[in-house]
C-alpha cells in the first residue's frame, strides 16, 4: 500500500510540475510582464532595470526554477490590474468559494446518491422516469441560466431570497464565514443549488448506471438465491459495489465544483476566487490566471489522493496483500 | 410423495418480435435425496427450468403456465417475500462461475453469517461458529483464519467450495446446481462433484444438477432428463438413458461422447443444430435432424410415453403406427451409418 | 454504366431497408421524446441555415435600429408592438430576430469547435495508439491532466491567453476564432481516448500487420484501414459534444469573453438581458434563455438516444 501511495504522490508531483510549466509559460510568454507592470511614462532605462530586477534576463530554465521556488513559498506575483500580491487576494476570496463549494457538494451527494439508488432499483417506475427527465433538463440547462431563472423567480418575482453577495459574514480573523448568520445561509441557498444541480444530476445518473450494472452480476443473483432480504441485497451488496466508481467520479466532480464556481459566482456576484479569475481573464491579468490554475490543480491533486485512500477503505482487493495464504489452481 | 414436482411448466420471454417459449410444457419430479441430472445443449431450457423453480427468472422472463410444488406447497405463484424465505432455506442454488458468485467486497464469513442469520434465529456468534464448521465441512483448510478473508484470496476451486457451503448453510431440501463445475479446471471438477455428492448424501439433500457434461451426470445422477429445444426428450434412470438411449436425440448425444476403452473409429455427430427459439419446427422439435423422421413427426408433438423404465417423447415408441420398440431399436442401429451419409450428401 | 449502377442502387436500398428494419430505427419510432427532439433540432438547423431569410428584422443592421423602440415588451403584453413579437432589447433590436441570428451564431461556433476538437482528438488518438511508446505516454498524460480540469476552465484559460497574445484592436474581429479555438482545444480529449483505444485494438489485427508487411506507408494505414473502424463511436461523441460546445459558447459569451454584443449569440443576448432583469424587462433575458435551453435539450436528447441505441447494454 505504501508503494501505491508513493507512486500516486510522484504522479501528483508530475501533474503539479506540468501545470506549473503551463502557468510559467503563460506568465513569461503571453504579453510583456514589464509592459503590464509600469505606466506609460516609465523610461526605457527604468524598464530595463525592472527587467533585470525581475530576473527576466536570466536563462529561461533559471527563471522557471525561480518561479517554482516562489510558488512553493506562496508567492504568486503581483496582479497587473490591482497591483497587489495575488496570494493576498486569494486568501481574501478563498473562504467564500470553499464554503459555497462545500455546501454544493454535500447537497449533490446527499440528494444525488439516494435518487440514483432509487432510479436504479425502480428503473421503470413513474418517479424514476420523472427524475431522469428532470435530470436531463438539469444537465441541459447551462449553469448560468439556472442561476438567472432562480433569481428571476425567488428574487425578482417572489422577493424572498437575496440575489447577490454573501449576506452577513463573520470575520474569524483568518476566515470570513457566512455559516454563522441566518442571512449568510439565506444567501447561500440559490448559489449552492445552482452550483450543485449539475453535479447532483451527474451523481444520480452515475449511481443509477452502476446500480443497473451491479444488479446484473452473478453475486447479486446468488445473494437473491440465498434468500437474503431485498434490503440486504440492494443497500448492502449492490450499493457497496457501486461505490468504487462513484467515489472516483464524485472526487473528480468535487474538484470541478470549485472551478464551476466561476460561473455561479459571476451570476450571484459572490465575492470568491472564481469571480476574481473571470475578471482576470477579461483583463488578461496573467498572474491571477496562473495562480488560479495552480490552485485548482493543487485541489485536484489533494482530492485525488483522498479518493485513493477511500478505495482502500471500500475495496479489500486493494487493502490486503493478495500473495499470502492461497494457491491458485 | 416427491419432494419437487414440476407439472406442465411453461416459461416465456416476451420480446418485440413476439413471445419466445424457452421452456415448453415440461413435467418432472425429484424425490427426497435424489440427484436428477438435466442435460442438453445451451439454449435447451435447462438453466431456465432451474431459474423458474427457484423463482429467479430474469425479467422479462416469466412462468406462463404449469405448477411447481415443493413438499406439497405450490411455490410458482408465491409473492416475492414468501418465495424469498424459501430461497436459501428450502432451495439452495449453486451457479456456474465461482469467481463471480461471491461478492468481492464482503468477507466469506460475512456472506455465510448473513445467510445463516437471515434464515435462522442464531446469534452472530453462533452463526460465525456455524460458518467455520461449514468451511471445515467443505474442506477448506484453516477455516478459523480463512473465514475472515475475501473471495479474491481463494482459488477457483476453493471459491466453489465456499459457494457450496453457502448453498448448504441452512440445510435446504433441494439444491439447484447450474453447471457447478463448467468454469473449473478439469482436475478440480471431479473433487467438487465428489464433495457435492457426499454432502448431499449426508444431509439428505436432493439435487437438480444442470449440466451439458454427460460424464458428470453419469457419475453423479440417479436419474437424468434430456432436454431439447425447451422440451424433455427423454427422462429415466441414468444407466438406462446412457446404456440404452431411446430417443434419437439422446442416441446422437451419447454417440458424440468419447468413451475411454472403447474402440471407436470416429465420434458420432448429429447433423444440423438445435433450432433457435424463434423458429422451433412444428411437431417434434427434433424432426428436421432426426434420422428416423416419418410423416407424423412434422405434424404432431409427441407426449412423454413410458418405455421400459424411462419416459420418451418420440413417435417411434407409439405403438399405434405398427412400430414397436424392438423394431425401432433395430432401426436405430441400422440406420445410424445411413443417416450420416445422407446428412453429408443432403 | 447501367450494370454498375443497378447493384449500387440495390445496395443502397438494401442498407436503407436494413436501417428501417433495424433496432436503431425501431427505438427511434418508439420514443416520442426523441422524435420531438429531432424535429426541434431540425427547426434550429433550418433557422441556422436560412435565418436571414426567415427573420422579420435584421438585428445586426445598426442603421435600421430605432432607439425609441427599445424595451418594447412582447406583443401580447400591454404596450407590446405586433411588429416585435417577443419584444425588443435595450437598443431596440427585435428579440425574435436576434434569437434567430443568435442561434445561427451559436450553432456555427458549436459545429466549428466540435469539428476542430474532433480533428485534433482523432489525429492525436490515432498517433498515440499507432505509434505507442513515449509519444503515446506523453499525449495520454497531457490528456489525463487536461481531463481533470473542467472544460470550461480550460476554455477560459485558452481564451485569456489567446486574447493576451492578440492586439487589443484585433480582439473583436477574431472573437469567433478565439472562441472556436478555446472550445475546440478544451474538448479534444474524449475523442483522442476513444480513438486511441480502438486503434490499439485494430493495430494488432492481421490485416494491419499484412499492410505493414507489403510496405504500405504507416500514414496510409492509419487513414485507410484504421480510421474507418473508429468513426462510429467518434460520431456519437461528436453529437453529445455539440450540446457541450453550445453550452460552453453560451457560457463564455455570458461571462463576457465570447461573442461581442454587436453580433450577439444566445449567450450574449442573455448577458445583455441579465442587466435588465430587475428593472422588469424580463423578456430580454428569458426568451433567449428558453431558446438556448430548448436547443441544448433537443441535441442532448438526440445524443443520449443515439448512444443508447448503439449500445444495447445500457438499455
pLDDT in tens, C1-42: 444 445 556 555 665 666 556 666 777 777 788 888 889 888
Pick from A183-197, B149-163, B240-254: least confident = B240-254
Which residue of B lies nearest to A219 if distances are taken between CA atoms? B101
Contacts of B166 in chain A (CB under 8 A): 222, 226
Question: Model confidence at B339, in pLDDT bands (50, 70, 90)?
Answer: very low
Neighbouring chains of B at 3+ CB pairs under 8 Å are A
Distance from CA of C161 to the nearest CA of A (A): 7
The whole-angstrom separation of Cα A15 and Cα B178 is: 50
Beta-strand relationship, B18-30 and B35-39: unpaired
Q: Which residue of A has its CA nearest to C147?
A: A252
* CB–CB contact C251 A263 (8 Å): yes
Calpha distance B54→B66 (Å, rounded)? 15
pLDDT, position B225:
92
CB contact under 8 A, A152 and C243: no
- Distance, CA of B249 to CA of B306 (rounded, Å): 17
> B100–A217: do the CB atoms touch at under 8 Å?
yes
Count other C-beta atoms under 10 Å from residue A19's C-beta. 22
Residue in this structure with the C-alpha cell 511508446, named with its chain if needed: C133
B270 by DSSP, 3-state: which?
coil
Is residue B190 within 8 A of residue B216, CB to CB? The reply is: no
Nearest CA in chain A to B112: A226
Chain A contact present for B61, CB below 8 A: no
Instruction: Tell me which of A80-89, A120-129, C12-21 is least confident.
Output: C12-21
* A neighbour chains, 3+ CB pairs within 8 Å: B, C
ipTM over 0.85: no
Q: Which among B87, B154, B155 has CB closest to A225?
A: B87
- Partners of C156 on chain A (C-beta within 8 Å) are 262, 277-278, 281
Per residue in A31-45, pLDDT (tens digit) is: 666 776 666 677 777
Q: Residue A322's pLDDT is what?
A: 43
Pairing relationship of beta strands B91-94 and B174-178 according to DSSP bridges: parallel
Mutate to test the interface with C, among A13, A79, A136, A142 (most CBs of C within 10 A): A142
- Residue among C138, C240, C255 with most chain A CBs within 10 A, to mutate: C255
CA–CA gap between residue B106 and residue A229 (Å, rounded): 16
| CA B230 from centroid of its chain's CA atoms | 12
pLDDT tens digits for range B27-45 = 999 999 899 999 988 888 8
Q: Does the N-terminal peptide bond of residue A263 adopt cis geometry, omega within 30 degrees of 0?
A: no
The verdict on a CB contact (< 8 Å) between A316 and B107 is: yes
Contact between A262 and C247 using a beta-carbon 8 Å cutoff: no
**Residue contacts between A and B (CB atoms, under 8 Å):** 103
How far apart are alpha carbons A276 and A258 in whole angstroms?
13
> What is the predicted pLDDT for the residue at B267?
61
- Could you tell me which chain C residue has the CA closest to the CA of A124? C315
Q: Which three cell numbers stand for residue B253?
A: 448425444
Q: What is the pLDDT of residue B337?
A: 46
Long-range contacts of C136-142 (CB under 8 A, 24+ apart): C136/C196, C139/C192, C140/C193, C140/C196, C141/A14, C141/A18, C142/A18
Distances from the Cα of A181 to the Cαs of A166, A170, B114, B183, C303, in angstroms? 10, 8, 47, 63, 45
Question: C192 or B97: whose pLDDT is higher?
Answer: C192
Give the pLDDT score at B2: 86
User: Which carries the bigger pLDDT value, residue A183 or residue B124?
Assistant: B124
**C262 contacts: CB under 8 Å, gap ≥ 6:** C60, C62, C172
Provide the pLDDT for residue B322: 47
Question: Would you call A246 an interface residue with chain C, using a CB distance cutoff of 8 Å?
Answer: no
Question: With an 8 Å Cβ cutoff, are A219 and B92 in contact?
Answer: no
Closest residue in chain C to residue A155, using alpha carbons only: C278
Residues facing B62 on adjacent strands: B12
> Which among C150, C160, C251 has CB closest to A289?
C160
Higher pLDDT, B269 or A21: A21
Give the burial class of B203: count Cβ atoms within 10 A of its Cβ; 0-12 exposed, 13-18 middle, 19 or more buried: middle
Mean pLDDT across the stretch A285-312?
Answer: 85
Contact assignment for B167 to A221 by CB distance below 8 Å: no
Rounded to an integer, the average pLDDT of A198-203 is 86
Please give, rounded to a whole number of angstroms, the shortest distance from the CA of A212 to a CA of chain B. 13
CB atoms within 10 A of CB B276: 10
Residue from C44, C191, C56, C12 nearest C114 by CA: C191
What's the angle, vertex CA A140, arms to CA A137 and CA A141, rounded to 5? 85
Q: How far is A235 from chain B (nearest CA, A)?
A: 13
Contact status of A282 with chain C (Cβ, < 8 Å):
yes
Does the predicted model carry a pTM greater than 0.90? no
Measure the CA dihedral B84/B85/B87/B92, to 10°.
160
The set of residues, in sequence order, having a beta carbon less than 8 Å from that of C99 and lying 6+ positions away, is: C86, C266, C269, C287, C288, C291
Query: What residues of chain B lie within 8 A of the CB of A317, using their CB?
Result: 104, 150, 152
pLDDT tens for the 315 residues of chain C, in order = 444 445 556 555 665 666 556 666 777 777 788 888 889 888 888 888 887 777 777 777 666 666 666 667 776 777 767 776 777 777 777 888 888 888 888 999 999 999 999 999 999 998 888 888 888 888 888 888 888 788 888 888 888 888 777 766 676 777 888 889 889 988 899 889 888 888 888 877 888 888 888 888 888 887 877 787 777 778 888 888 898 899 899 988 888 888 887 778 888 888 888 888 777 778 888 888 888 988 988 888 888 787 777 664 433
Contact A240 B150 (CB under 8 A): no
A221-253 b/e with 16+ CB inside 10 Å = b? bbbbbbbbbeebbbebbbbbbbbbebbbbbbbb
Chain C interface includes A276 (CB < 8 A):
no
Residues C275, C261: contact at Cβ < 8 Å?
A: no
Q: Which residues of chain A make contact with B89, given a CB cutoff of 8 A?
A: 227
Q: Is A13 on the interface with C (CB under 8 A)?
A: no
Listed ranges A308-317, B259-268, B290-299, C94-103; the one with the highest mean pLDDT: C94-103
Residue A1 has pLDDT above 70, yes or no: no
Interface probe with A: pick from B153, B171, B192, most Cβ of A within 10 Å: B153
> What was the pLDDT predicted at A329?
34
How far, in whole angstroms, is CA C249 from its chain's centroid? Answer: 9
**C-alpha span between B332 and A172 (Å, rounded):** 96
CB of A152 within 8 Å of any CB in chain C? yes
Inter-chain residue contact C153 with A262, CB threshold 8 Å: yes
Q: In sequence order, which residues have a C-beta less than 8 Å from that of residue A235 and are 6 or more positions away?
A: A117
Amino acid at each position: 500500500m505504501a508503494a501505491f501511495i508513493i507512486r500516486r504522490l510522484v504522479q501528483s508531483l508530475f501533474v503539479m510540475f506540468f501545470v506549473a510549466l503551463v502557468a510559467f509559460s503563460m506568465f513569461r510568454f503571453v504579453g510583456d510582464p514589464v509592459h503590464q507592470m509600469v505606466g506609460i511614462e516609465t523610461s526605457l532605462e527604468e524598464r530595463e532595470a525592472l527587467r533585470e530586477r525581475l530576473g527576466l534576463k536570466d536563462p529561461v530554465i533559471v527563471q522557471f526554477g525561480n518561479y517554482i521556488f516562489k510558488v512553493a513559498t506562496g508567492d504568486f506575483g503581483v496582479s497587473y490590474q490591482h497591483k497587489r500580491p495575488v496570494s493576498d487576494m486569494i486568501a481574501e476570496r478563498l473562504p467564500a468559494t470553499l464554503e459555497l463549494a462545500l455546501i454544493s457538494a454535500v447537497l449533490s451527494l446527499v440528494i444525488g446518491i439516494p435518487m440514483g439508488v432509487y432510479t436504479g432499483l425502480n428503473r421503470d417506475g413513474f418517479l424514476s422516469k420523472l427524475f431522469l427527465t428532470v435530470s436531463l433538463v438539469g444537465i441541459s440547462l447551462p449553469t448560468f441560466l439556472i442561476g438567472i431563472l432562480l433569481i428571476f423567480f425567488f428574487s425578482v418575482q417572489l422577493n424572498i431570497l437575496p440575489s447577490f453577495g454573501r449576506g452577513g459574514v463573520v470575520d474569524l480573523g483568518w476566515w470570513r464565514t457566512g455559516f454563522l448568520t441566518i442571512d449568510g445561509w439565506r444567501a447561500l441557498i440559490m448559489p449552492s443549488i445552482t452550483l450543485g444541480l449539475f453535479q447532483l444530476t451527474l451523481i444520480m445518473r452515475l449511481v443509477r448506471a452502476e446500480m443497473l450494472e451491479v444488479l446484473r452480476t452473478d453475486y447479486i443473483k446468488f445473494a437473491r438465491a440465498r434468500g437474503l432480504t431485498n434490503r440486504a441485497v440492494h443497500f448492502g451488496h449492490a450499493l457497496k459495489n457501486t461505490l468504487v466508481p462513484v467515489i472516483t467520479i464524485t472526487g473528480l466532480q468535487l474538484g470541478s465544483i470549485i472551478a464551476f464556481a466561476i460561473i455561479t459566482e459571476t451570476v450571484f456576484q459572490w465575492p470568491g476566487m472564481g469571480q476574481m479569475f473571470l475578471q482576470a481573464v477579461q483583463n488578461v491579468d496573467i498572474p491571477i490566471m496562473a495562480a488560479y490554475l495552480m490552485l485548482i490543480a493543487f485541489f485536484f491533486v489533494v482530492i485525488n489522493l483522498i479518493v485513493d485512500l477511500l478505495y482502500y477503505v471500500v475495496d479489500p482487493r486493494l487493502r490486503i496483500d493478495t500473495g499470502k495464504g492461497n494457491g491458485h489452481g | 410423495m416427491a419432494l419437487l414436482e414440476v407439472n406442465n411448466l411453461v416459461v416465456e420471454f416476451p420480446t418485440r418480435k413476439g413471445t419466445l417459449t424457452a421452456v415448453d410444457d415440461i413435467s418432472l419430479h425429484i424425490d427426497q435425496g435424489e440427484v436428477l441430472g438435466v442435460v442438453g445443449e445451451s439454449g435447451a431450457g435447462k438453466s431456465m427450468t432451474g431459474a423458474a423453480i427457484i423463482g429467479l427468472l430474469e425479467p422479462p422472463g416469466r412462468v406462463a403456465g404449469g405448477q411447481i410444488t415443493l413438499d406439497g406447497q405450490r411455490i410458482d405463484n408465491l409473492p416475492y417475500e414468501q418465495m424469498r424465505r424459501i430461497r436459501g432455506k428450502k432451495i439452495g442454488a449453486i451457479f456456474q462461475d465461482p469467481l463471480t458468485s461471491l461478492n468481492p467486497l464482503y468477507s466469506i464469513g460475512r456472506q455465510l453469517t448473513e445467510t445463516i442469520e437471515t434464515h435462522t434465529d442464531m446469534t452472530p456468534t453462533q452463526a460465525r461458529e456455524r460458518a467455520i464448521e461449514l468451511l471445515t465441512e467443505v474442506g477448506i483448510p484453516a477455516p478459523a483464519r480463512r473465514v475472515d478473508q475475501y473471495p479474491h484470496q481463494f482459488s477457483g476451486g476453493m471459491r466453489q467450495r465456499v459457494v457450496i457451503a453457502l448453498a448448504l448453510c441452512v440445510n435446504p431440501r433441494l439444491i439447484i446446481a447450474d453447471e457447478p463445475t463448467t468454469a473449473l479446471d478439469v482436475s478440480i471438477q471431479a473433487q467438487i462433484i465428489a464433495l457435492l455428492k457426499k454432502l448431499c448424501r449426508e444431509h439428505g439433500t436432493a439435487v437438480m444438477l444442470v449440466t451439458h457434461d454427460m460424464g458428470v451426470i453419469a457419475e453423479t445422477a440417479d436419474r437424468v432428463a434430456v432436454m431439447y429445444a425447451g422440451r424433455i426428450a427423454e427422462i429415466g434412470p441414468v444407466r438406462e438413458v446412457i446404456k440404452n438411449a431411446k430417443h434419437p436425440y439422446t442416441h446422437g448425444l451419447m454417440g458424440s461422447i468419447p468413451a475411454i476403452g472403447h474402440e471407436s473409429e470416429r465420434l458420432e455427430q448429429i447433423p444440423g443444430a438445435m433450432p433457435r427459439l424463434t423458429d422451433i419446427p412444428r411437431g417434434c422439435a427434433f424432426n428436421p435432424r432426426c434420422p428416423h423422421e416419418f410423416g407424423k413427426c412434422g405434424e404432431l408433438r409427441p407426449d412423454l410415453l413410458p418405455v421400459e423404465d424411462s419416459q420418451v417423447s418420440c413417435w417411434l415408441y407409439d405403438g399405434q403406427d405398427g412400430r414397436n420398440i424392438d423394431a425401432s431399436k433395430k432401426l436405430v442401429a441400422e440406420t445410424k451409418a445411413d443417416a450420416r451419409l445422407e446428412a453429408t450428401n443432403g | 454504366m447501367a450494370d454498375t449502377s443497378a447493384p449500387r442502387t440495390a445496395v443502397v436500398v438494401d442498407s436503407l431497408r436494413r436501417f428501417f428494419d433495424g433496432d436503431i430505427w425501431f427505438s427511434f419510432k418508439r420514443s416520442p421524446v426523441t422524435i420531438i427532439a429531432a424535429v426541434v433540432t431540425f427547426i434550429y438547423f433550418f433557422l441556422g441555415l436560412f435565418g436571414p431569410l426567415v427573420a422579420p428584422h435584421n438585428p445586426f443592421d445598426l442603421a435600421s435600429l430605432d432607439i425609441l423602440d427599445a424595451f418594447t415588451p412582447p406583443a401580447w403584453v400591454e404596450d407590446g408592438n405586433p411588429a416585435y413579437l417577443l419584444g425588443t432589447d435595450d437598443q431596440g433590436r427585435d428579440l425574435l430576430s436576434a434569437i434567430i441570428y443568435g442561434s445561427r451564431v451559436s450553432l456555427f461556433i458549436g459545429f466549428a469547435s466540435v469539428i476542430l476538437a474532433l480533428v485534433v482528438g482523432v489525429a492525436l488518438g490515432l498517433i498515440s495508439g499507432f505509434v505507442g511508446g513515449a509519444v503515446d505516454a506523453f499525449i495520454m498524460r497531457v490528456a489525463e491532466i487536461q481531463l481533470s480540469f473542467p472544460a470550461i476552465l480550460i476554455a477560459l484559460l485558452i481564451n485569456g491567453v489567446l486574447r493576451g497574445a492578440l492586439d487589443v484592436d484585433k480582439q473583436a474581429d477574431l472573437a469567433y476564432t478565439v472562441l472556436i479555438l478555446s472550445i475546440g482545444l478544451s474538448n479534444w480529449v474524449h475523442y483522442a481516448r476513444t480513438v486511441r483505444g480502438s486503434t490499439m485494438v485494430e493495430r494488432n489485427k492481421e490485416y494491419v500487420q499484412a499492410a505493414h508487411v507489403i510496405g504500405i506507408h504507416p500514414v496510409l494505414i492509419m487513414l485507410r484501414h484504421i480510421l474507418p473502424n473508429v468513426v462510429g463511436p467518434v460520431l456519437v461523441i461528436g453529437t453529445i459534444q455539440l450540446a457541450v460546445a453550445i453550452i460552453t459558447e453560451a457560457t463564455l459569451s455570458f461571462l463576457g469573453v465570447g461573442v461581442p454584443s454587436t453580433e450577439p449569440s444566445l449567450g450574449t443576448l442573455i448577458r445583455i438581458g441579465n442587466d435588465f432583469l430587475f428593472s422588469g424587462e424580463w423578456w430580454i433575458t428569458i426568451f433567449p434563455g428558453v431558446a438556448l435551453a430548448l436547443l441544448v435539450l433537443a441535441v442532448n436528447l438526440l445524443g443520449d438516444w443515439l448512444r443508447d441505441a448503439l449500445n444495447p447494454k445500457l438499455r
